[in-house]
């Protein structure tokens, strides 16, 4: 009952608190169970108010008056949630002692429904990775962080949620990326630039599984990945992070391709300053990698910034942006006899490139600017307006191609909490985007040309609590216009329910997802694998009905089980296909496949059985069939199993994670690549950490066994990489 | 709890015991053959073999390496195929693709075997190329198989058949 009360208050209070007119102050200290000070973060749930403790654990937090929920956190410790009531002008002293527990059990607040809600209220599965998870994994990039989430698998940089995307040779993604709610898929190819946002900026990653088009429109075909960036604390804060490491050499002398060990390194600096009304942060960084294969070096420069203005209670204006310049050599495919200058007598050389790709190189610049106005009008109603500009510009050398795309987006959303509570919540909005590309590869027959696409999508979703049941129903209507001609109108409904019971919360949902063909898929004109690729401007959106039945349940006080059965019926999937054009075999993207993906997505997180020890198991079973050919769907491994464990003892932590991905049974373009070797993936990551005051050191060894494998044709997955991350926080 | 941790470790170790991609070392002579035309419907198999000495008579037709038991049929469903010949170190005068017709036997070899292509001398493509194999340095050679031109082996006998 007490837990229910806290959960209810958690959901209601942000709206009431934000509507208050004056402010008060909470001061105190944060420490561990032994009384040692922690540089934790204190924040008011549902508002931007937050403060970071100093090296002696002291903090000072300005809060709205009335009843507020305070959330206290620190890496490696369980969050504490505190409810306080405070009058205008008062100050209150609160000291918090945090207990070591790397796995966060509950409550977790997610934004899958375009407004804050508890994880147990979501009608669809959501996997959350918070800053504790990210720090513990010591990963360096956003895709590395997302890759180990339950139900998620990357195939050569392309994200799959429950087998959604497969591998589509870099064109299109069946997963939508959001950065603080702003769509960030490429305007031309529709893919995801995972280096768009520095990982240092990311506080939390939410992976919404299943079709999400009823709220998010195109590309949310198989799910949504939402990156939530850090709030800016009051006062001066800074962080310096240095990274260094090395790649393992090939395990066989016959595969050796260089005389030295490949290295990697990077440096990023973040500084922020905040007052009660104005806050800003800036991150600058750079990275270099020698790569783990022949012709695989890369250099990257990145910057990200954010500014917030809180002119009055209940109003927040945010400006944010990021820019990344990435120059990287391209490893097109590994070489096989007859295609490379040096086979050393091998049937294939996974570390070396085929001679036709020698000198391939890409310069990729990308970035975004976003402005958001959040206004809490009352305890019952709030609205948000945002505008964004997303740009991607790549230039390929050998073959020489280039493309510039600009995507202008806007969205207006209103959220009504009827009667000020969360028993009835209505979300209404409209989202629009204008994309234009200029390119010599997505043009007309290889000539430079431009194309535009306009997407407009009004949407509405209502949530109603009836006893223990929380019902959800939503609808979105998307209109897609390409080069001035209406191409498609797509209706995406969704219904769902979350039912609290004695055995956790049951979830059931049914929804429609769709993905409009990207401008690149419609107009691509190039050569691939020796074949001409020809455009197909008349492509239709691919669609899917997605069903889920799941349960999320705490297990005593030491664990949490999440399990879901999913079933997706997809139609008109876009796939590259061999066609005869004038008697010549060519490749064209067509709507051809009907597919069925069904399976089980389950995870178990265990904590507190032994002090400091946490473990997790996640398993994904995907039965994916191409119903057109009655064969296994390409690029969908049947089993993905992830085992992880971490142990923390005072300032030290150690951990390990193992992932097994079964052999991919079928690939596309079988006549070209079908005879290439493919094996199951078995990857073990090891990690260790040390933290004392403002300093921390993390050691990460990925693919510690140096297991050599590939997931997509003739593309070697990363070998063992050892890296050290040193962080100083002010 | 220790037993649980040990159990997880054992499972992980068991799953990793199978190795990943391995070097596929060329056992002597290897390379890629490129196909021209389609294999006849009567095809039984195509093999690559190597001769120390050019076979100028029917008696020497079966002196090739590797031994018959080690022959591997080429996959014919692509535009090209990788081949690997496990042969001893030495000098080879003829590396040849042999087309075998359905119904082949030693008795009817003259009519059911065909030369489908061979490695040619880079300096004089009208002549077979000589290949020298040593234990330290396998040889990678590529050539073309033309299903449209497959002379019988007796064409190379001394004297040749008409």
Nearest CA in chain B to A647: B5
CA distance A105 to A437: 45
* Count of A-B CB contacts under 8 Å: 87
Other CB atoms within a 10 A radius of the CB of residue A173 amount to 26
CB A330 within 8 A of CB A362: yes
Q: Note whether B1 contacts A610, CB cutoff 8 Å.
A: yes
Among A265-274, A282-291, A524-533, A716-725, name the one with the lowest average pLDDT. Answer: A524-533
Interface test with A, best of B6, B23, B29 (most A CBs within 10 A): B23
Residue A20 has pLDDT above 60, yes or no: no
Chain B interface includes A639 (CB < 8 A):
no
Judged against a pLDDT cut of 50, whether residue A453 lies above it is answered with yes
* Cα atoms in the Cβ-side hemisphere of radius 13 Å centred on B46: 30
Q: What is the pLDDT, as a whole number, of residue B11?
A: 57
Kindly determine whether residue A675 and residue B24, on different chains, have CB atoms separated by under 8 Å: no
Number of domains in chain B: 1
Residue A8 has pLDDT above 50, yes or no: no
pLDDT over threshold 90, residue A371: yes
Owner of token pair 């806290």: A6
Q: How crowded is the C-beta side of A27, counted as CA atoms within 13 Å? A: 3
For A40, list phi and psi in degrees, rounded to 5.
-80, 175
Instruction: Report yes or no on B4 lying in a domain.
Output: no
Contact B150, B38 (CB under 8 A): no
CA gyration radius for chain B? Answer: 21
Q: Judge whether B38 lies within some domain.
A: yes
Tell me the backbone φ, ψ of residue A4, rounded to 5 degrees: -60, -40
Q: How far B88 CA lies from chain A's nearest CA (Å)?
A: 15
- Which structure tokens are listed for B66? 């590797």
Q: For testing the chain A interface, which of B5, B20, B26 should be mutated: the one with the most A CBs within 10 Å?
A: B20
User: Partners of A721 in the beta sheet?
Assistant: A247, A702
CATH number at residue B35: 2.60.40
Query: Is residue B43 assigned to a domain?
Result: yes
| pLDDT band, very low/low/confident/very high, at A293 (cuts 50, 70, 90) | very high
**8 Å CB contact of B12 and A658:** yes
Residue with tokens 């040849």: B96
Comparing A2-11, A360-369, A621-630, B1-10, the range with the smallest average pLDDT is: A2-11
A347: contact with B, CB 8 A cutoff: yes
Cβ neighbourhood burial of A556 (10 Å; 0-12, 13-18, 19+): exposed
Q: Which residue of B has its CA nearest to A608?
A: B1
Residue of A nearest to B2 (CA): A610
- Mean pLDDT over B95-117 rounds to 90
Taking residues A428-432, what's their average pLDDT?
96
Structure tokens given for A720: 């063992």
Answer for the pair A420, A16: CB distance below 8 angstroms, yes or no.
yes
Query: Quick check: A346 contacting B, CB < 8 Å?
Result: yes
In a domain, B18, yes or no: no
Cα angle at A439 between A435 and A441, to 5 degrees? 120
End-to-end CA distance of chain A: 41
User: CA–CA separation, A606 vs A645, rounded Å?
Assistant: 9
Dist. CA A270–CA A304, nearest whole Å: 9
Place of tokens 């020809």: A534
- Please state the separation of Cα B123 from the chain's center in Å: 23
Would you say the pTM of this structure is higher than 0.80?
no
Question: For residues A7-46, b (16+ Cβ closer than 10 Å) or e, as one string?
Answer: bebbbbbbbbbbbbeebbebebbbbbeeeebbbbbbbbbb
Backbone angles phi, psi at A672, to 5 degrees: -90, -45
By C-alpha distance, which of B125, B61, B31, B4 is closest to A614?
B4
The nearest CA of chain B is from the CA of A658 a distance in Å of: 7
- Residue B155: CB atoms within 10 A of its CB come to 11
User: A346 and B24 in contact by Cβ < 8 A?
Assistant: yes
A14, A155, B51 from A489: Cα distances, Å = 37, 31, 68
- Compute the residue count for chain A: 730
d(CA A375, CA A317): 9
For A652-697, the pLDDT digits (tens) are 999 999 999 999 998 877 666 766 778 999 999 999 999 888 899 9
User: Given this model, what pLDDT does residue A169 score?
Assistant: 67
B2: in domain: no
pLDDT at residue A565 greater than cutoff 50: yes
3-state secondary structure of A551: strand
- How sure is the predictor about A339, in pLDDT bands with cuts at 50, 70 and 90? low
Contact yes or no for A347 and B26 at CB 8 A? yes
Contacts of B159 (CB under 8 A, 6+ apart): none
- Give the pLDDT confidence of A596-647 residue by residue, as tens digits: 999 999 999 888 677 888 899 999 999 999 998 899 998 999 999 999 999 9
Identity of the highest mean pLDDT range in A34-43, A120-129, A224-233, A316-325: A316-325
Distance (Å) of CA A198 to CA A149, A242, A318, A634: 19, 14, 18, 32
- The closest CB to that of B25, out of A345, A677, A708, belongs to A345
End-to-end CA distance of chain B: 84
Q: Which domain holds residue B127?
A: 23-156
Q: Are A169 and A576 in contact (CB under 8 A)?
A: yes
Give me the pLDDT at residue A46, please: 66
Distance from CA of B110 to the nearest CA of A (A): 32
Average pLDDT over residues A41-64: 79
* Domain annotation for chain A: domains and CATH numbers: 2-100 (2.60.40.1120), 121-729 (2.40.170.20)
Instruction: Tell me the helices (H) and strands (E) count for chain A, helix number first.
Output: 6, 46
Closest Cβ opposite residue B25 in set A337, A346, A656: A346
Per-residue pLDDT of A272-285, as tens digits, reads: 998 888 999 999 99
> What is the Cα–Cα distance from B71 to B62, expressed in whole angstroms?
13
Do residues B119 and B131 touch, judged by C-beta distance below 8 A? yes
Q: Could you give phi then psi for residue B109, rounded to 5 degrees?
A: -60, -35
Chain A residue with minimum CA distance to B140: A345
Dihedral, CA of residue A183, residue A185, residue A186 and residue A191, to nearest 10? -170
Residues linked to residue A620 through DSSP beta bridges, in sequence order? A601, A640
Q: What pLDDT digit, counting tens, does each position of B36-77 carry?
A: 999 999 999 999 999 999 999 888 888 998 887 767 788 787
DSSP SS3 for B140: strand
* CA dihedral over A155, A157, A163, A169, signed as positive or negative: negative
Query: What pLDDT, on a 0 to 100 scale, did the predictor assign at position A100?
Result: 66
**B14 inside domain:** no
- HSE-up of residue A338 (Cα within 13 Å, Cβ side): 15
Segment A64-113, tens digit of pLDDT: 887 788 888 876 677 788 888 888 888 888 899 887 654 444 456 667 77
Cross-chain residue pair A348–B24, CB shorter than 8 Å: yes
B79 contacts in chain A (CB < 8 Å): 671
Q: Is the pLDDT of residue A216 over 50?
A: yes
* Tens digit of each residue's pLDDT (9 = 90 or more) over A475-510: 999 999 999 999 999 999 999 999 999 888 999 999
Q: Choose from A345, A585, A608, A645 for mutation: most chain B CBs within 10 A.
A: A345
Cβ B20–A255 below 8 Å, yes or no? no
Do B31 and A338 count as a contact with CB atoms less than 8 A apart?
Answer: yes
For residue B124, being part of any structural domain is answered with: yes
Q: Residues for chain B: how many in total?
A: 162
- The contacts of residue A366 (CB under 8 Å, 6+ apart) are A186, A193, A195, A196, A323, A324, A326, A390, A391, A392, A393
Those residues whose C-beta lies under 8 Å from the C-beta of residue B70, and which sit 6 or more positions away, are B86
């Amino acid at each position: 009952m007490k837990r229910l009360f806290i959960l209810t208050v958690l959901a209601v209070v942000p709206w009431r608190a934000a509507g208050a007119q004056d402010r008060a102050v909470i001061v105190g200290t944060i420490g561990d169970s032994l009384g040692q000070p922690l540089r934790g973060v204190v924040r008011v749930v549902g508002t931007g108010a937050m403060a970071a403790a100093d090296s002696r654990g002291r903090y000072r937090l300005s809060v709205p008056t009335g009843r507020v929920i305070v959330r206290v956190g620190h890496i490696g410790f369980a969050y504490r949630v505190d409810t306080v009531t405070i009058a205008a002008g008062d100050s209150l002293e609160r000291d918090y002692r945090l207990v070591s527990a790397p796995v966060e059990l509950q409550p977790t607040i997610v934004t899958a429904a375009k407004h804050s809600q508890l994880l147990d209220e979501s009608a669809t599965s959501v996997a959350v990775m918070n800053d504790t998870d990210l720090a513990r994994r010591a990963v360096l990039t956003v895709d590395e962080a997302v890759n180990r989430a339950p139900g998620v698998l990357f195939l050569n940089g392309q994200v799959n949620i429950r087998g959604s995307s497969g591998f589509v040779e870099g064109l299109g993604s069946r997963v939508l990326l959001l950065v603080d709610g702003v769509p960030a898929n490429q305007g031309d190819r529709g893919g995801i630039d995972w280096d768009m946002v520095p990982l240092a900026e990311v506080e939390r990653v939410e992976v919404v599984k299943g079709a999400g088009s009823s709220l998010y429109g195109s590309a949310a075909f198989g799910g949504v990945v939402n990156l939530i960036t850090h709030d800016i604390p009051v006062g001066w804060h800074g962080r310096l992070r240095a990274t260094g490491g090395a790649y393992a050499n090939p395990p066989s002398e016959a595969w050796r391709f260089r005389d030295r060990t490949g290295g990697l390194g990077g440096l990023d600096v973040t500084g922020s300053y905040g007052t009660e009304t104005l806050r800003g942060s800036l991150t600058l960084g750079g990275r270099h990698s020698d790569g783990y294969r022949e012709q695989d070096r890369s250099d990257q420069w990145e910057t990200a910034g954010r500014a917030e203005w809180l002119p009055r209670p209940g109003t927040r204006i945010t400006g944010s942006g990021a820019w990344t310049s990435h120059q990287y050599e391209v490893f097109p495919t590994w070489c096989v006899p007859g295609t490379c200058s040096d086979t050393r007598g091998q049937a294939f050389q996974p570390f070396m490139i085929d001679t036709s790709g020698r000198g391939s190189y890409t310069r990729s610049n990308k970035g975004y600017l976003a402005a958001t106005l959040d206004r809490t009008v009352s305890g019952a109603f709030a609205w948000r307006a945002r505008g964004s500009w997303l740009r991607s510009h790549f230039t390929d050398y050998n073959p020489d191609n280039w493309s510039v795309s600009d995507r202008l987006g806007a969205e207006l959303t209103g959220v009504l909490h009827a009667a000020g509570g969360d028993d009835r919540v209505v979300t209404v909005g409209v989202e629009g985007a204008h994309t234009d590309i200029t390119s010599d590869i997505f043009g007309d027959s290889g000539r430079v040309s431009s194309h535009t696409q306009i997407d407009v999508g009004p949407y509405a979703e209502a949530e109603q609590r009836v006893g223990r049941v929380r019902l959800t129903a939503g609808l979105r209507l998307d209109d897609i216009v390409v080069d001035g001609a209406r191409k498609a109108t797509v209706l995406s409904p969704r219904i769902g329910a979350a039912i609290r019971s004695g055995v956790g919360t049951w979830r059931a949902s049914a929804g429609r997802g769709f993905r409009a063909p990207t401008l690149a898929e419609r107009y691509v004109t190039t050569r691939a694998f020796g074949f001409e690729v020809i455009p197909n401007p008349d492509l239709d959106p691919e669609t899917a009905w997605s069903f889920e039945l799941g349960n999320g349940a705490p297990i005593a006080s030491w664990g949490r089980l999440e399990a879901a059965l999913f079933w997706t019926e997809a139609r008109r999937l876009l796939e590259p296909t061999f066609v005869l054009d004038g008697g010549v075999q060519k490749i064209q993207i067509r709507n051809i496949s009907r597919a069925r993906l069904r399976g089980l997505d389950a995870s178990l997180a265990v904590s507190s059985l032994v002090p400091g020890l946490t473990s997790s198991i996640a398993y994904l079973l995907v039965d994916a069939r191409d119903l057109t050919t009655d064969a296994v769907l390409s690029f969908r491994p049947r089993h993905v199993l992830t085992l992880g464990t971490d142990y923390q003892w005072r300032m030290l932590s150690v951990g390990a994670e193992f992932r097994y991905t079964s052999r991919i049974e079928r690939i596309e373009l079988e006549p070209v690549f079908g005879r290439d070797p493919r094996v199951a993936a078995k990857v073990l990551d090891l990690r260790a950490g040390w933290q004392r005051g403002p300093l921390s050191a993390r050691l990460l060894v990925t693919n510690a066994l140096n297991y050599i494998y590939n997931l997509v044709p003739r593309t070697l997955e990363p070998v063992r990489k050892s890296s050290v991350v040193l962080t100083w926080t002010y | 709890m220790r037993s649980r941790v040990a159990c997880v470790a054992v499972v992980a170790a068991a799953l990793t015991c199978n190795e990943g991609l391995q070097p596929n070392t060329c056992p002597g002579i290897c390379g890629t053959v490129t196909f021209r035309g389609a294999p006849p419907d009567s095809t039984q198999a195509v093999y690559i073999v190597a001769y120390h000495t050019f076979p100028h008579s029917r008696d020497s037709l079966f002196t090739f390496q590797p031994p018959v038991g080690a022959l591997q049929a080429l996959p014919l469903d692509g535009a090209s195929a990788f081949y690997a010949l496990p042969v001893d170190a030495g000098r080879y005068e003829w590396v040849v693709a042999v087309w075998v017709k359905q119904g082949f036997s030693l008795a009817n070899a003259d009519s059911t075997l065909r030369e489908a292509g061979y490695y040619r001398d880079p300096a004089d493509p009208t002549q077979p190329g000589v290949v020298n194999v040593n234990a330290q340095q396998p040889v990678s050679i590529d050539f073309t198989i033309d299903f449209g031109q497959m002379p019988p082996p007796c064409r190379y006998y001394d004297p040749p058949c008409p």
